[in-house]
Chains A and B, each alone.
Chain A
Amino acid sequence: EIVLTQSPGTLSLSPGERATLSCRASQSVSSSYLAWYQQKPGQAPRLLIYGASSRATGIPDRFSGSGSGTDFTLTISRLEPEDFAVYYCQQYGSSTRWTFGQGTKVEIK
């Protein structure tokens, strides 16, 4: 079973700053199977990135994803007020189906 570990648990930043979120897998993951989601309080998760680096429809280009193998990164180039939220990585596995990381909260400093 692949475990996804996200770090840091909480990221305290100011609007306009750059956010770098990490997702580390316990075994190598195909980039095609790695996605990122944003969740705001009281809302459902929203797809941001799929295939490790492809932005979903309507997602601003300040969001970018990168990585391969066991190390993946979500970067928000300049934080907007609406970007303060919790972010989850997710991977697909043929045997275990779907696994989520525990989340990284991006909060206003």
Chain B
Amino acid sequence: EVQLVESGGGLVKPGGSLRLSCAASGFTFSSYSMNWVRQAPGKGLEWVSSISSSSSYIYYADSVKGRFTISRDNAKNSLYLQMNSLRAEDTAVYYCAREVGGVYWYFDLWGRGTLVTVSS
């Protein structure tokens, strides 16, 4: 089955760190760019970070630049998001999403998300 499964969320204090993982299965993970998208409680979707298939190109939203690091391990079919210096406003459900690019650009596969709560 083609799927993405996030893990690693939880409760962390402000200033703390957390590492999210996204396990991919059912498709050739190494052929796709991948993304993290978050959704604060009751709010809309916010793109967080992108990484190309070979990790050559990495992008971040201004809101997380310098604090979050995206990475991937194609041998393990896994995507990661290292989150440091966490703030209350980072509280959200974090989704990993597969990117389709070329002629058309969109996210065609999403995980179910993992909740990160930043609170003292």
A-side interface residues toward B, CB under 8 Å? 32-33, 35, 37, 39, 43-47, 50-51, 54, 56, 88, 90, 92, 97-103
Q: Which residue of A lies closest to B102 (CB)?
A: A32
Q: Is the CB of A88 within 8 A of B45?
A: yes
Q: Which label, helix, strand, loop or mixed, suits the secondary structure of the A interface? A: strand
Q: Is the CB of A99 within 8 A of B106?
A: no
Q: Apart from A32-B103, A51-B104, A51-B106, what 15 extra A-B contacts exist at CB < 8 Å?
A: A33-B104, A33-B105, A35-B105, A35-B107, A44-B111, A44-B113, A45-B107, A47-B106, A47-B108, A50-B105, A54-B104, A92-B105, A98-B35, A102-B44, A103-B45
| Interface size class, chain B | 20 to 34
Write the B65-97 contact mask toward A (1 if CB under 8 angstroms, else 0).
000000000000000000000000000000100
